[in-house]
Every structure is written in C-alpha cells, then in structure tokens.
Chains A and B, each alone.
Chain A
C-alpha cells in the first residue's frame, strides 16, 4: 500500500489560501489520491480526489505533480470553519474503495 507523509500541523490566517502538502512517493500508476477532512467530533468529510490531472471543486483544488509523487490541497480562502485534520490518502488497489488513513495534518485557521 502506498504510504503518505504529511506535516503534523499547519497554521493559516483567515481569508488566506491554505496549502497542505502530501508526499506519496510509492504511489503506483492506477492509484488515486484522496483528501478528506475531519472537524473535531465529527465524521470525516470527502473533499476531492484525483489521478494525474489537477482537480478543482467548490471546496478546494488538488495539484498533483507530474511524477505523481506528491500533491497539494489548496483551500483558496480559509475560514475558521476549515479548522480540521486533513487526511491525504492513496486508495488501496484498483478494484476496491478501501481507504487507509494516515496521521493527517491539523490545520488551524487563525482569526
């Protein structure tokens, strides 16, 4: 299973962009990169996922490097409600939907 490495914590000023990095150097060609977040005392929430191309939705943008060994989740205008643990996950295998969570990054958005 491809492992991910994330910084344990980051701070971001409210209204600024939050850029959360993730390393997944052992990712294989058919494995997708997923991002979820977990606000305190709630279940995880899906944010975005991608394979090779950059992706954008209403919540965030996902930038994947050309060699696919790392990615960055971008929250364009962070708010206090974005304070959460953000998990970068490489999906296990190509036929299942299993997710193996790593340790994640605690993003603290400061007023």
Chain B
C-alpha cells in the first residue's frame, strides 16, 4: 500500500546532540511537510517542500533544518536539541493543489505518517 513512513518511531537524544529524523513516501507526491506536535497541543507546521523548493515558516527556529534529496525522502535535522524540542514530529505529503475554473486552487488532502516521538535527555 502507498504510504508515508517515518523512522524511527521513537528517538532518544541527548541535550545538544544533533539528531536526524527521516520520512519516506511511496505516494509520489511533490509536496512534503514537517510538523511539530508537543504534548496536548495541535500540530504546528515547521516547513514544507514544494518539489525542491524549501518553504520555512517564519517562526521556525534556526535549530531546525531540512533536506529533501529526492521525491521520496525528506529529513528533519535538529542541530542542537534542547529540552523544549521534545515532541512528536509528523511528516506529511500531498499533491499539488488543483486549479479550479474560478482561479482558486482546490487543495489536496495531506497524508500523514505515524510520527517520530523525540525525547531529549
């Protein structure tokens, strides 16, 4: 089945030690997203790739970086994790929004992976 895969499901790192989370997809979607979800909060968009174009949210800390070497894979790098970065990290994918006759684009649903729960010691 086509899907969004995140590895590992659980990641433990030490304060200040760089960590990389990975996401892969078999859907061949051109848009990939990374969200951060802290306990009891809603997912918060960090950045997304539209094909190879990287789009950072204004309030995403510089500590968070991303790489997308090809259509299928996307990585989230946390350069120096702090205790406040402990969270669930969700990857999602979607197709390009579909243009409509009125000029607006009908968006396509996002498919989410199961998430990686990051613990910072």
Contact = CB atoms under 8 A, between A and B. Distances in A.
B6 to A, nearest CB: 8
B67 interface: no
A87 B42 contact: yes
Interface residues of B, number: 27
Given A97-B97, A100-B45, A44 B107 contact: no
Contact of A96 (B42, B90, B97): B97
Contacts, number: 59
Interface string A38-81: 10011111100101000000000000000000000000000000
A98 B107 CA distance: 9
30 contacts: A30-B102, A30-B104, A32-B106, A32-B107, A36-B110, A42-B114, A43-B4, A43-B92, A43-B113, A43-B114, A44-B43, A44-B92, A44-B110, A44-B112, A45-B112, A46-B109, A49-B107, A49-B109, A87-B42, A91-B107, A95-B97, A95-B105, A97-B31, A97-B94, A97-B96, A98-B45, A99-B45, A100-B45, A101-B44, A104-B42
Interface of B: 4, 31, 42-45, 48, 50, 90, 92, 94, 96-97, 102-115
